[in-house]
Homo-oligomer: A and B are copies of this chain.
């Protein structure tokens, strides 16, 4: 098989700390791909409904990435680390933490093993792969530009260095709390052949997924900045400082377009000091803050919650929905799980509900909500439950227990990714299963065994096929009718 390999040691005048090796198999490109617009935001749509309604066949394949584990293997280092830490380290440092992207007949797969894969969506064959300087925990963004289709991925990690960590607290100097132990960066590759176009390094992690808006890539980083890059060149267009001790962990940028065309970018930040967390909306043209939202009295965000979850946006109704863990009880070490909705125009609170109390999830501190047809669907790793809420007032329509979540009550949580609505069903991967619920009453319809473990992985439905990846470094194409009939 004919293939090409490129090794990039630098870009412009700047050397890469890890070179980027791209291996390209042109003969594996899709023959007549069906394109359906740009993938500009985490989980495809502003409302996090990851469904592409095109005429795509029912495919069935699996792709084993580098370092893939047998699907029935126990977590590596399980004995040394236990069932709370072993799966977290695997997901945050080796396997795929978040879901895949579809664009133009290609599935882009982000791997924490410092890899990005481009795979033929029809055949499961590798088109190209590229190495990066840190874990790819972002959902790849793919956009047609004047330079052709470009795939953007951000890289970063969830660690802290000693100087930004406990010693910052001991010395009382919170000024420099930065999330991200190793390099944070954004990479731009030619989406078809993997050619490296540019790299932008950042201070702190770039774990969250940037949003592509009006030619800019916009994201929050681990150093308390909101950054806008020119998507064509990688140059910084503007860069805001949110404030001391603020960082965006995994809160991928969403956006809302005002009726007059003004667009705001919205994302969550964790603050190490009161109010401990904020949702921030900035004007995409100049970075000016349009509104900031902190939780009301009675709801104190805990841990990385507010900086973890990507808010969902209902463009039509002008509503933003997010979740976070709140109100840590030091005595029994439990937390509450809150979901709230804001007016997208001014950030005013529409409703907030504390739905359950439970244990502190071991990593991602919330559930990514989806808004579909007036209903908010959101899982919670605090209690391994899935909720359907009235979008207008937050009242519970139904609640379902997520089955088969690995580990005992304090084990790794289920229900972290955005639930996806398809034909009257909700699809939500959790643990080693893809679970399917009746969307109208929450009844569990099917638990489809895959094996391994799902991170914050949502299903991506393209026509008649569902695509998922997992923490064991696999990618799967599953015919939709195997999940719903």
A: residues with CB less than 8 A from B are 14-19, 67, 69-70, 73-74, 76-77, 79-81, 85, 88-90, 93-94, 113, 157-163, 165-173, 177, 179, 181-183, 185, 201-203, 249, 272, 303-304, 328, 330, 362
Contacts of A181 in B (CB 8 A): 93, 157-160, 181
Known: A17-B67, A80-B201, A169-B170. 9 other contacts (CB 8 A): A15-B69, A17-B69, A79-B201, A88-B161, A158-B161, A158-B181, A160-B166, A165-B165, A166-B169
8 Å CB contact of A202 from B14, B80, B158: B80
Check A70 against B303 for contact (C-beta < 8 Å): no
Across the A-B interface, the 8 shortest Cβ-Cβ residue pairs: A159-B159, A159-B181, A77-B201, A17-B76, A80-B201, A169-B169, A165-B165, A15-B73
8 Å CB contact of A94 from B18, B69, B168: B18
- Please measure, in the bound complex, the distance between the C-alpha atom of A90 and the C-alpha atom of B162, giving whole angstroms: 15
Please give me the residue from chain B that is nearest to A131 by CB atom.
B67
Contacts of A90 in B (CB 8 A): 17
Check A94 against B158 for contact (C-beta < 8 Å): no
- Please measure, in the bound complex, the distance between the C-alpha atom of A259 and the C-alpha atom of B167, giving whole angstroms: 41
- Given contacts A93-B183, A160-B162, A330-B172, are A81 and B203 in contact (CB under 8 A)? yes
Contacts of A201 in B (CB 8 A): 76-77, 79-81
Check B166 against A19 for contact (C-beta < 8 Å): no
A275 smallest CB distance to B (angstroms)? 14
Please give me the residue from chain B that is nearest to A13 by CB atom.
B74
Please give me the residue from chain B that is nearest to A362 by CB atom.
B163
- Please measure, in the bound complex, the distance between the C-alpha atom of A160 and the C-alpha atom of B171, giving whole angstroms: 17
Check B162 against A161 for contact (C-beta < 8 Å): no
- Given contacts A166-B165, A330-B171, are A77 and B157 in contact (CB under 8 A)? no
Please give me the residue from chain B that is nearest to A82 by CB atom.
B203
A352 smallest CB distance to B (angstroms)? 23
A51 smallest CB distance to B (angstroms)? 32
How many copies are assembled? Answer: 2
A248 smallest CB distance to B (angstroms)? 13
- Given contacts A166-B166, A177-B166, A303-B167, are A77 and B17 in contact (CB under 8 A)? yes
Contacts of A70 in B (CB 8 A): 15
A325 smallest CB distance to B (angstroms)? 11
8 Å CB contact of A159 from B16, B160, B171, B304: B160
Check B166 against A168 for contact (C-beta < 8 Å): yes
Could you jot down 29 A-B contacts, CB within 8 Å?
A14-B76, A16-B76, A17-B69, A17-B77, A17-B90, A18-B113, A19-B67, A77-B185, A77-B201, A79-B201, A80-B202, A80-B203, A85-B203, A93-B182, A158-B181, A159-B161, A159-B181, A160-B166, A160-B181, A162-B179, A162-B303, A162-B304, A165-B166, A166-B168, A166-B169, A166-B272, A169-B170, A172-B330, A181-B181
Contacts of A166 in B (CB 8 A): 160, 165-166, 168-169, 177, 272
Contacts of A88 in B (CB 8 A): 161
Please give me the residue from chain B that is nearest to A70 by CB atom.
B15
Query: Which of A169, A173, A179, A202 has most chain B Cβ within 10 Å?
Result: A169
Contacts of A303 in B (CB 8 A): 162-163, 167
Contacts of A160 in B (CB 8 A): 159-162, 165-166, 181
A294 smallest CB distance to B (angstroms)? 17
Contacts of A362 in B (CB 8 A): 163
Contacts of A89 in B (CB 8 A): 17, 182-183
- Given contacts A15-B69, A172-B330, are A77 and B183 in contact (CB under 8 A)? yes
A69 smallest CB distance to B (angstroms)? 5
Please give me the residue from chain B that is nearest to A303 by CB atom.
B167
- Given contacts A160-B162, A163-B362, A166-B165, are A171 and B16 in contact (CB under 8 A)? no
Please give me the residue from chain B that is nearest to A66 by CB atom.
B19
A277 smallest CB distance to B (angstroms)? 13
A77 smallest CB distance to B (angstroms)? 4
